[in-house]
Amino acid sequence: MTKARGSSAGGSLRIVAGSLRGSRLAVPDRPGLRPTPDRVRETLFNWLAPVITGARCLDLYAGTGALGIEALSRGAGECVFVERDRELCRLLQDNLARLKVSTARVITDDAFAFLGAPAATPFDLVFLDPPFDAGLWNEAALRLERGGWLSDAAWIYVEATPQAGFAAPPAWSLHREGRAGLVHYALYRRSPADPLS
């Protein structure tokens, strides 16, 4: 996803495991673009291994689409990629076509505008990795929760800086977390609200 910390040198990144293992995704040389590192993706998907098969995924701030494509490579049923940058969307569509991935949809839109539309089918797994300088984590999490975008037992991956002050909605419980350099990453599990409360 696009971040404001540093810049990518461009080039490519690799899919770590699954049916697309070793495939390369083009990464443009653009200020602020910092895809999730291989090591972090490997850790995350090891955590998700028991639940990834058949999951319906949302890569909300897609950037290169590395998280969503990694999910599809490891058996996710489908993935919707949302990215407002048109150039990144074109590159993502090109990568998906080259990899012959047919269970994906790329939407060129602002994340909040996307979340403002009526939710159709809820997602089982959401990647929440917005630009580091925009402070979008808490509002995006609330919109996901309140808008009906999450299945009753959805998993939500959040990537942020330790200083971001992310506050998960009450229905989310922390499952696992880690740190890589200046990045804090965490996996949450959503619990359905108590019908008696």
Report the CATH number that the domain containing residue 20 is assigned in CATH. 3.40.50.150
Domain carrying residue 161? 2-190
78 within some domain: yes
Q: How far apart are the first and last CA of the chain?
A: 37
Prediction pTM value: 0.88
197 within some domain: no
Asked whether 81 and 65 are in contact (CB, 8 A), the reply is yes
* Distance in angstroms (rounded) separating the CA atoms of residues 62 and 65: 5
196 within some domain: no
State how many domains the chain has. Answer: 1
pLDDT one digit per residue (tens) for the chain, 197 residues: 433 333 334 687 888 888 888 888 877 777 666 678 888 999 999 999 999 999 999 999 998 899 999 999 999 999 999 999 999 999 999 999 999 999 999 999 999 999 998 888 899 999 998 877 667 889 999 999 999 999 999 999 999 887 778 889 999 999 999 998 888 899 999 986 544 33
195 within some domain: no
> Which of 130, 101, 103 lies closest to 115, judged by CA?
130
